[in-house]
Amino acid sequence: MLNYLQARQTVIRAVSACSRDLSVESVPLQASLGRVLADNISADRDYPPFHRSTRDGFALRAADLAHLPATLKLLGEIKAGDRFDGTVSQGECVAIMTGAPVPEGADAVVMIEHTEPRQDEVVVKRSLQAGANIVPRASEAAAGALLLSAGTRIGYAEISLLGQVGQARVGVRRRPRVAVLSTGDEVVPVESQPGPNQIRNSNTYSMAAQVTLSGGEPVLLGNAPDELNRLEELIRRGLEEDLLVLTGGVSMGKYDLVEVVLRKLGAEFHFDAVAIRPGRPAVFATCQSKFVFGLPGNPVSTMVTFELFVTPAIALLGGAAAPALQFFRARLAEPVKQKTQLTLFLPARLEGQGTDTCVRPLRWQGSGDVAALAGSNCFLVVPEDVSELAAGSWVDILPRRDAVVR
């Protein structure tokens, strides 16, 4: 049985090796958040396009401050967006605002708090090196320099940069369409009143949310009963999309029929179990040239295995790199024991601030306990070869990507 890192790498290798539909669409800049950039973006001019002041103060020649205090003649003022047509010569200065272009002849800007302005002159009380408080022209990027590479996931900083270079519309990759299918006779629609032995279909909506967070477009297929013909019909429908993700029906029970149908349809299984808890009976297969994930039906298992294995597949199908699993370290607030030889992903909360931050595992009743997961903001990761962790130990945590740490 693969460990979770081996299973994740199996997914990445398989999806990376396949041919993908990387068609492009153009979207307005404001609609590009979270999309995958289709083209390289280069600087359309030097950035900054002039020597830019980083302070409110006075533009001057640093050499004029060899002897302090130095009294300089004030020639005028420059605000952001303006220009000064003259040249700063020996013994002269120009009042300048943050973001304004440094005038010809000046090689430094002294902060206003280090000066004593008078009517037509300024007394400077602190010396400077040439270049002080100035961002040189083209120091951020020269015209033609590569700013963003194709395949970049667009965040708010990337949107700002795209706007800076005039990209009112952005070429992005088409979102992969991900078919989402739950299974089980016990599952009823969320708007229904469940019977005493039934559950509402929350998995469909949590998976759809994870698809969206991962950069895909969810296609909801509803719920398949524990009946071979209808399950096959819905799986065939799901295989029309870029990716199919099922939940439930992948364990060893009499009515766990997902693998039965997939084998009938000619699936090649890359793995059918992973050494983790929750989420051990996770399935990854190729069926009719499409990738299929069969995730456990208990909601916490579904969400953990989706994050570990489905997220990189959606990223790759959408033209981005597989995101790294980014673990962080925190001190454990209370001891943890485990009996199983599996890697645990336990719902937990980061608490405190700064150096006082610690992680506290939440009390939960197993992989069906959605209430506990909703109260979490991370997963505490307990390695398979560790049976006990003492309070105060440094441990690995995997943040919930959608959770606000509060």
Count each helix (H run) and each strand (E run) in the chain, helices first. 8, 28
- 343-351 and 283-287 beta bridge pairing: unpaired
pLDDT in tens, 123-155: 999 999 999 999 999 999 999 999 999 999 999
- Domains and their CATH numbers in the chain: 4-22+175-317 (3.40.980.10), 24-47+139-173 (3.90.105.10), 52-135 (2.170.190.11), 328-399 (2.40.340.10)
Which 8-state DSSP code applies to residue 224? E
Reported as type and span, the H/E element at residue 397 is strand 394-399
Note the pLDDT of residue 162: 98
pLDDT of the residue at 252: 61
Note the pLDDT of residue 341: 87
Mean pLDDT by 10 residues, the chain (406 residues): 97 94 95 97 97 98 97 97 95 98 98 95 97 98 98 97 98 97 90 89 93 96 93 97 92 74 96 95 96 94 96 97 93 91 94 90 89 92 92 94 59
| Distance in angstroms between the alpha carbons of the first and the last residue of the chain | 37
- CB 76 within 8 Å of CB 84: yes
| Nearest partner of 374 among 297, 281, 299, 280, judged by Cα | 299
Closest CA to 145 of 266, 41, 28, 53: 41
Amino acid 254: pLDDT: 58
- pLDDT in the model for residue 199: 82
- pLDDT, one tens digit per residue, over 163-219 is 999 999 999 999 999 999 999 888 888 898 989 988 888 999 999 999 999 999 999
Q: In this predicted structure, what is the pLDDT of residue 405? A: 42
Q: Where are the beta strands (DSSP E) in 195-317?
A: 199-200, 217-224, 243-247, 268-271, 276-277, 283-287, 290-295
Residue 377 confidence (pLDDT): 93
Burial 215-245 (b: 16+ CB within 10 A, else e): bbbbbbbebbbbeeeebbebbebbbebbbbb
